[in-house]
Structure formats: structure tokens, C-alpha cells
Amino acid sequence: MKEKIPKILSILSVSDTIVFPYLLVPIEKSDEKSKKLIDDSLSGDKIIGCLAIKKNGKPYDIGTAALILKFLRIPDGSVRILVQGLDRIRVKSVIQDRPYLKVEVEQLKEKEFKDLEIEALMRNVSTMFQHIINLAPYLPDEVNVMLDNIQSGGRLADFIIAQLNVNIEEKQLILEALDVRTRLKKLLPILDKELSILKLGEKIRSEVKTEMGKSQREYYLREQLRAIQKELGQKDEKTIEIEELTQKIKKAKLSKEAEKIAYHELDRLKIIPPQAAEYIVVRTYLDWLVSLPWAKQTVDRLDIDRAKNILDDDHYNLEEVKERILEYLSVRKLKSDTKGPILCFVGPPGVGKTSLGMSIARALGRKFVRFSLGGIRDEAEIRGHRRTYVGALPGRIIQSMRRAGTKNPVIMLDEVDKIGMDFRGDPASALLEVLDPEQNHEFMDHYLDVAFDLSRVMFITTANITDTIPPALLDRTEILKLPGYIMEEKLVIAKQFLIPKQIKENGLTRRYIKFEDETIKKIVSDYTREAGVRNLERQIASCIRKVAKQIARGKRKKYIISTENLSDFLGPPKFYQELAEMKGEIGIATGLAWTPSGGEIIFIETIKMKGKNELIITGQVGDIMQESAKAALSYVRSRAKNFNINEKSFNGYDIHIHVPEGSIPKDGPSAGTAITTALVSLFSDKPINPKIAMTGEITLRGKVLPVGGIKEKVLAAKRAGIEKIILPKWNEKDLKKIPERERAGLQFKFIKNIDEVIKEALLDSNSN
């Protein structure tokens, strides 16, 4: 039974074929719009409209209604369908154009009849097509059998044109011919043209086969041609290439060694036939050699005040890094031949390491090139491949120099802490020469095999941590730490950089949206947990997009995002902040911890119970923290009398130490003082002052050693309502890095041993 064609059809655009009635055609699509159309059609009557695309990108008005017979989803994300043409259709009007084109169509009917002229036309096109089948390699012999079974003139024309390898315009011409006689007449010149092309191709193949039989004859002919061109004063392509390379070598101002090698390779190129594979190898090598910036360099802009303004405009705070850049500029101004520094920016994700490198290049007036070292395992990525290998290329350092076009760019090596190594070598070791100012003036790339001066380059590496960077490589760099931003810094960054940027990117202006300061702080504390500002920018962008949606719907007014309506934009809070306990409890101490997302307070909980003298530690703590707990217990037991603890109270009891939020990994030695204090409180039955927080590593002798992350820990304690912080004596100097306004309202106690901590933190037994 023939399918009934609906008046409204979804239109699938086809660019490389045309669907004809009664014929099966495979179609492959990978764009989302077409896949959506196909999925919707499969859930309905499976009938779609197929229209070819014109050269100007618009679809033709006449196409074919088709039925989807088969559907296949390919692993690469594309889909394939098999459709059968039903009948010709014409587009009357467009119903919709999103998410895909849907139109109103009319079904076009052809009058099927036979007379002597049509019979003659059918025989003529059939005969010509059989000749084409014999000559065309893309047409199988089975097409002849199918041709004999077609009795209708219209279907015959459709079948033949669908098999031919002709352009879309010619196929569309046949599709639009509704009159059978006209259709057959329009098909004849197309068949004649295709037959002529195939006959000519056959003639050319036979001539080539007889004339190009021997490569030796080609060689002699080529040599004769060269001799004739020489007599006539003409130059062949090879001669022109060699002359161009000679001029490039002269202009490149190569080093003496490189120039000697360049002319030696040029002499080799003169005697190598252009058809030889070695010719391309030598030519490519010379191209690399002359395209490198051997003598080109930009002039440094040594205006200190201008550089400071650029750095301040692009980045808030980061004073230590900015000061180092200004120092370098000052030295360059006084001593022009100073070597470029090797800096390493170390900090958590999102604090601006990569963008800071771009700002430095802008401040210096230099070219900036960046590439990531993350996941690189092949030494050849740095030093290049030797020319004996097929497809050999220089390493990334030389490629970066060519891309920069100057010998003194700023090159940023991102993610230097994520370099790997395997059987192909150690890329980190290959960087040792690159990042050493005493060696890199004669850097040797395996591909170039000639020394290249990198001493003028300013190298900047970035890393999240220094632990995974090889010590030898770390020793060659000047470490500049970029700590996580505190709340006040994030507030300023959001107001000065992030909000204006996102308002512009989302097509709004400041008159439509306003963020209150408390709202930004709430986003930082309740919706992000990071040291940088990437997630903060995403949350701000989410708010602005929702406002943009309302503006686009015509609701034009100023939207003020406050703490009260923030959840309407971002949903419920994703994180919560730990707060200090209101009442002191026995066996619970407040510690301070550093995480990649900033500082936090942690509660160390301890209990004892009848058992076999075992120590149980839970809360997903790492090996170092477990060792701190064991050292703390040993110290408390050894000093039991000093803490007024009965030594027998340790016998027959299991001790359980727990750090809440067990889903979050915790490690490091800085919880040693808090664990020791909690154990002393547990066995002496004395509560711990809940308004005191502490940090520090302990030894078996009770010494308190310094720890890191003091700034982040102090800020976390203040947010949580802590009144006094106990710190190791050696960390007293770190308070200078914390702004005075952040220290306001906090008391600090600096201690050298654990006895001082116990004396300061424990309350009387009957205290509340």
C-alpha cells in the first residue's frame, strides 16, 4: 500500500545526493539539528521531506517525500538512515525553522503515458546508459538487470540519473521535470556528456599506459628538458627554489655554525633529483633553519610605571609576583644584556597563573607563546626528532620560537608538575638544559642539530604543587607562590573583573543588574569552595544568564541580586562553613587545616572505651596524619604524670580518634597539637576552650614545629568565630603577610612545646 504523504513535513537538507521517488538512498548526518529531526520522525509516521541544497546554502523548492526504512547510530556520534522516495513535493510555505525546518507541501503528480516518441526516447537513453555501464568503473553490471525491469519512462529517467556521477544541479533538473517527455529529453544531453567524458578518460589511460612504461625514459626526457631550458635561458622550479633559499639564508643572519650547515645542505639539494624523498627532507630542514629568529628581537618597553599599571589593571593583589617583574625591568634598564629569569608560578587552580604570564608579556612589549606540558611523556616533544625518522619535526621549544618570530619572547610552560615519563624518555630531564641560563645559550634540538640561543627568552613555568616536579628542574627555577584569594580579595576581583566581564559577554549592561557585596560574599562562602575564582565566575555568569533570559523575554528592569533572592538564581547553598562550638567539651579540640580551596577549621574528636589498648583513627586521614596521632598518644602516655593523668587509665581501653567530614581526604602533620590536646582532655576529664583553635606539628619530645598555610588558617578561624589562635613560635613571622584588618579581634599565642598548648587550651573540669 502506498504511504499517504502529510501536508506538513519536516525537511532534511541533503548536500551530496538527491532522493528520487521509488529509489532507496542512504543518508548520513552528524549535526544536532538533523539528528533531532530524525529522532522525532522515527517516533511518528517516519515520513520526511528531502530537499537538496543550492550553492548559496538555501534549499530548492522541489524535493521528494521519503520514508525512513532503517536507522543506525554510529559510535562517532553520527547517524545513518536508509530512506525510500515516495513522491515529488513542492514547498508552499514555511511553518517553523527551529529546531529544524518544517514546511507545508503539495504533492506533485506526473502524467504517465506512452506514445511512439516516448518509446523512442526510452530506448535511446537505455542504450546510452548501457554504454556508460561498460565504461564507468563505479557502476556494477547488476544495474543492467534492474534497467530491464523498468517499464515506465518517468521511473527510467529517475533511476538512470540517480546512478550517474553527475553534479547536484543536473540531478535537480531531472527531479523538477514533471512531464515525462521533457524529463527524458533533458536526460539525453547529460548522458551524452557523461559518455564523452568516459570515452576520453579511457583514451587517456591507454595512451599513458603505452607512453609511460619506463622510468628510465622519463629520466632522460627530464634531463633533455633541463638542457633545453638552460639553452633558452629559462629556469626550472628546482633552480627557482634554490635561488629563493639562498636569499633566505643571507637574510636570516644565522650563526656561523648554522650558516655553514645551511650552505652544506643547499649544496646537497642542488644534486638531489626533486622526485627523490630526500629532496623534501632537506628542503623542509632548510625551511625550518631560515624561518627561526636568529637575530630578530623586540625592543623591551622598560617604563616601570607603565608596566606596573598594566599588571595592576589585569590582576588584583599578587604583589610579590608584580614586584619581581618590576625588579627584572629595572635591572634590564640598567644592564641591557642581562639574561632572562626562569620563573615558576606555583598555586592552586584559578588564581591567575596563565593570565599573569600574558600580562607580563604585554607589560614588556614582547611576544607571548604558551604550550602545556601536561601529560607529555616523550622527550622528543622537547628536543625534537632526529631527521632520520619519517615525518621528523623540531621540539616544542623551537616550534614556539618560530611561532613567536623573535628571539626574546615570553614562553609559558604550563602544568610543569604534570609531566610524565615512559620508554620514550623523560621530558623533564630534557627541560634541564632549556631552563638553565648558563646552558640554554647553546640549546641543541635533535632536529636542527645546531646550537640555538635561548638566553634572551623569558621562561615562565606554572604548577599547582612542587612535590611532583623533579628536584633538579625545580632548582633551576625561581619559585613565586600564588596563594589562594581571601574573601575580601575575591570580593574586589568579582566587582572589578568578573562581573563587568560576564555582563559584557552576556549582552547586558550595568543598568539591568546589580550584585550586592554581601551577595558576592555569600556566593563565595556557600556556593564555591576553591582557592581561585573560576567557580565564582561561573556562579556569577549563571546569575547574569538568568537575568539575560528575563530581559530577552521583554521584562526590562533592574535586577538586584541580594542574599534573600540568591537561591532563586543558584538554588540552595552547596557548602556550609564550620563554626566554633559554643560550649567546651571533653576530648574535642579545634584544629586548623589548609586545603587547595583555602583554610578550614576541623574538629578532632576522641573517645575511650573498654578494649584491647588499640588506637582507631577514622575520617579518611592520610598516613602522615595517622603518624601524628600515634606520636601524640605516645607523648601523652609518656608525660601522663605531668598532665595529672592516672597511668592505669590507658590499660584496657581502646582509643578512637575521629575527624568529621569523612568523605573529604585529610593529611599532613599540622593537626598534631590538636590531637595531643584532645587526648590530654580525654584522659584528664577537662574540657577544651571552644574559642581556641590550634595548629602545629609535634615531636615525641613535645616540641611544636612550624607548619604552612598560616594565612589561610587564620582567615578560616576568624570566619568560624574563633577568638584565640595557638601557633608555633616559628610561624610568628608569617603573620606579617596577613592584613591588619584580618587580624583584628583575634588573639595569638606562639608556643614552642605542647605543655604551653595544654596550659592555654584546657579549662577547669567544672567550666562551661
24 burial (CB, 10 Å; 0-12 / 13-18 / 19+) is middle
Q: Range with the lowest mean pLDDT among 115-124, 209-218, 522-531? A: 209-218
Whether 139 shows a pLDDT value over 60: the answer reads yes
The CATH T-level fold of domain 304-481 is Rossmann fold (3.40.50)
Report the C-alpha gap between 275 and 623 in whole angstroms: 65
Whether 663 shows a pLDDT value over 60: the answer reads no
Report the C-alpha gap between 512 and 544 in whole angstroms: 10
Question: Amino acid letter at 288?
Answer: W
Taking residues 649-664, what's their average pLDDT? Answer: 81
Quick: pLDDT tens for 230-243: 665 555 667 778 88
Higher pLDDT, 211 or 625: 625
Contact yes or no for 462/413 (Cβ under 8 A): yes
Taking CA 718 as the corner, what is the angle to CA 712 and CA 719, rounded to the nearest 5 degrees? 90
Whether 752 shows a pLDDT value over 70: the answer reads yes
Please report the pLDDT score of residue 692 as a whole number.
92
Eight-class DSSP state of 738 = S
Architecture of domain 8-107: Roll (2.30)
pLDDT averaged over the chain?
85
- Give the start-end residues of each E strand in 357-500: 368-372, 410-414, 443-444, 451-452, 458-463, 478-481
Task: Please report, for the chain, the start and end positions of each structural domain, with discontinuous segments joined by +.
Answer: 8-107, 116-208, 230-291, 304-481, 487-570, 588-761
Please state, in angstroms and as integers, the Cα–Cα distance from residue 445 to each residue in 240, 257, 382, following that order.
29, 14, 8
N residues, the chain: 768
pLDDT band at 196 (very low <50, low <70, confident <90, very high): confident
Cell numbers standing for residue 17: 545526493
Please report the pLDDT score of residue 472 as a whole number.
86
Taking residues 67-86, what's their average pLDDT? Answer: 89
Query: Same topology for domains 8-107 and 304-481, yes or no?
Result: no
Query: pTM for this one?
Result: 0.60
Please report the pLDDT score of residue 58 as a whole number.
87
Give the best-scoring range by mean pLDDT among 317-331, 369-383, 460-474, 500-514.
500-514
Please report the pLDDT score of residue 748 as a whole number.
93
* CATH class (in words) of the domain with range 588-761: alpha beta
* CATH class (in words) of the domain with range 116-208: mainly alpha
Strand partners, 276: none
Quick: pLDDT tens for 157-170: 888 888 888 888 88
Strand partners, 62: 90
Whether 74 shows a pLDDT value over 60: the answer reads yes
Higher pLDDT, 15 or 461: 461
Whether 347 shows a pLDDT value over 60: the answer reads yes
Quick: pLDDT tens for 455-486: 888 899 998 888 788 888 888 888 888 877 77
Please report the pLDDT score of residue 1 as a whole number.
44
Taking residues 683-704, what's their average pLDDT? Answer: 91
Taking CA 137 as the corner, what is the angle to CA 132 and CA 141, rounded to the nearest 5 degrees? 70
pLDDT band at 768 (very low <50, low <70, confident <90, very high): very low
φ/ψ of 265, rounded to 5, equals -70, -35
Quick: pLDDT tens for 524-554: 888 887 778 888 999 999 999 999 999 998 8
**Which residues are identified as catalytic?**
670, 713
Report the C-alpha gap between 164 and 185 in whole angstroms: 16
Quick: pLDDT tens for 587-636: 999 998 877 666 788 889 999 998 888 899 998 888 888 999 999 999 99
Please state, in angstroms and as integers, the Cα–Cα distance from residue 448 to each residue in 279, 294, 453, following that order.
17, 13, 13
Whether 679 shows a pLDDT value over 90: the answer reads yes
Cell numbers standing for residue 304: 616601570
The CATH T-level fold of domain 487-570 is Helicase, Ruva Protein; domain 3 (1.10.8)
Q: Range with the lowest mean pLDDT among 5-19, 285-299, 592-606, 670-684? A: 592-606
Please report the pLDDT score of residue 225 as a whole number.
64
pLDDT band at 499 (very low <50, low <70, confident <90, very high): very high
